[in-house]
Structure 1
Amino acid sequence: MRDRTDSRVTIARRELGSLRKEKTIVLALALQLLIAAFSSFLVVGLVSLYDPGQVGGAEVDVAVTGDAAEDLISASQEVRGVDAQPYRTEEAAMRAFQEYRATGIDAVVVAETRDERVFVRAVAPDSNVQTTVVVVQLRDVLRAFERAERTDRAAFLSSTPLELPPETDSSPYFGFTYTILLPLLLVLPVFISGSITVDSVTEEIDRGTLELLRVAPVTLHDVVDGKLAAAAGLAPIQAGAWIVLLELNGTSVANAMALVTLVAGLALLVCGLGAAVALVSPDRRAAQFLYSIAVLFVIGGTTLLPHGPVTAAARLGIGSPATADFLAVASVALLAIAVYLGLHRLVDRVDADAL
């Protein structure tokens, strides 16, 4: 038993040593390290891409025209960074928009009433760096206008419309950090570990070195376990390091042990699938394609669940998990064990002499 353990450890060390020569893997690790180490700076820049209104200096001047212009201008006052100016005609507003350098008008909004309904048409700059800022600010203005209109007309409606989600004053930085950044740093190492497993197994088969390993003597079980230990073991180590770096950057992450356990389970699950795919389809390109499809269905499908791994990671990191989130961690761990046992049954059926 000790000999087998030593063989697996030796293979795992050999795998880790070979990863240093893989520039793509090293670059991916360095990129994750950069994101985790400078998360506090990156969050500000990334949030500004989808919510420019949160960044100081993002001022948008809008020319508003039409018979419902007054109501829309009133609603725009609730949106920070928007200055809505009334224009008598659409032609005058468009002329001011085209003469941007002289007037400073960034967009045009036409609000007209037809059949007791308000129709809004917006014009934003095309192929301009400022386009994203303008579009997002116009979106917020129209949302505020819709809420105001629904409130004013609610008493005259024959049926109650679908309720809008409640307005929130939470910081977008908080939401971005825990719903995007943290899950990204936790899940990305899992994908990389699975890809490493696929490449490692198929490379051994292509080069014929798998036979040399078995002559050592090393069984196919030892080879697979050693490669799994090296690849799957990297993910929870990275996750722990990223959590520490986030803490150093001022982002508090709760339930760290549960998150590392979740990553460890996902890594074993994904790497087990990768190894199985590599044994069934030894061709490297075909194996990577099948692995990508399998991961897409497994991880992508779980995002549809109300308490999937990604959602559970966000809730655990924030510090407000439900019982179902801990059950999700346990389910991933159990599924990973099942995949590992299934992989060993597959190894028993594989005729290593034919590889």
Structure 2
Amino acid sequence: MTKRIAIAIDSLAGGGAEKVMLTLASSLIELGHEPHLLVLQNHCHHEVPANIPVHFCFAQNEKNLDSFWKLSQSVARLKQFIDQVQQEVGKFDLFLSNLDKTNLLMSRTQVSPLYFVVHNSVEEELARQRKLGPFAYWDMIRAKKALNGQHLITVSKGIAGEIASKGRIHPASMQTIYNPFELERIATQASKPAQGIPDGDYMVHVGRFARQKRHDILFQALASMKHTLPLVLLCNNKKKALKVARKYGVEDRVIVPGFQTNPYPWIKQARLLALSSDYEGLPTVLIEALAVGTPVVSTNCDHGPKEILLDELQQYLVPRRDPSALAEKLDNALDSYPDCSNAKILAQVGAQTVAEKYLALIN
């Protein structure tokens, strides 16, 4: 029987959570079900397939929807919006809520069955927010506390372990469902031609230029490697990236072609992919690299990498914030690396396999 699933999210502005939910929606359709995106505001940079219905609740220019003084009004409007959508398309069999603003509002709507998808480390996000000042920190704390007594889906076991051990949030239930990956589509996209890819060997790093990604550690490692391959950065801020590369003396070895709508040919043709992050939720790019047979070396941050690099690939995990260890492991990987095209994690993250796990929540 066809199930109708509501996927609620802040926007479709281009982040990882948005991409994950679009993939899930496409997979649910392939399985014969009917997903709907309930989007708070119309900030849309992702390309949304025409067969996925999208409903926008608030105007694009509305601000402070989750502020203390507007929260009750926003929740009332969201409840009315959901009721209207259900009158038009039918009752939803499952609600999935994503990201802080949406979580705060959805937790007060009393819709059911409702699950909250936790995409990142709660503690790392709070630590970063604390540096922005008490008001920013309070806003995030409020959103995280909204998860108390709720049913949670974490995208990695590491995040679930953190929530359980820290005791900041007390969920009604919690389980891990890995993010979905369209493995066949990734392979197809990786085989397409792409302009600007270097002719010779190179390494690649994929990720926005942000402190979390620790490009400074990556550049220090690059400076001390015995191999002298160039490093391609697929990131969103060429000017800042080159400025930091210059600081560590590796500007001449860094290539920054900018954001790529199809990064997979760049990943597939690289000798290896490096991840130097301080923290992640479930680092998508590691799985995408393995899916196209590209070796990976990653920092062993608390959430995700050690669940992806299993068995003989575990040796390519390195401590966080250790440029020397990262440099050594990158050199080792360039000299010799096991076949990673059939990595164990790939059997657990196929899009339809993951979609079936979400459908099981209905029962």
TM-score, with length taken from structure 2: 0.25
Higher relative strand content: 2
The structure that is helix-richer by fraction is: 1
Higher relative contact order (CA 8 A, sep 6+): 1
Q: Which has the larger radius of gyration?
A: 1
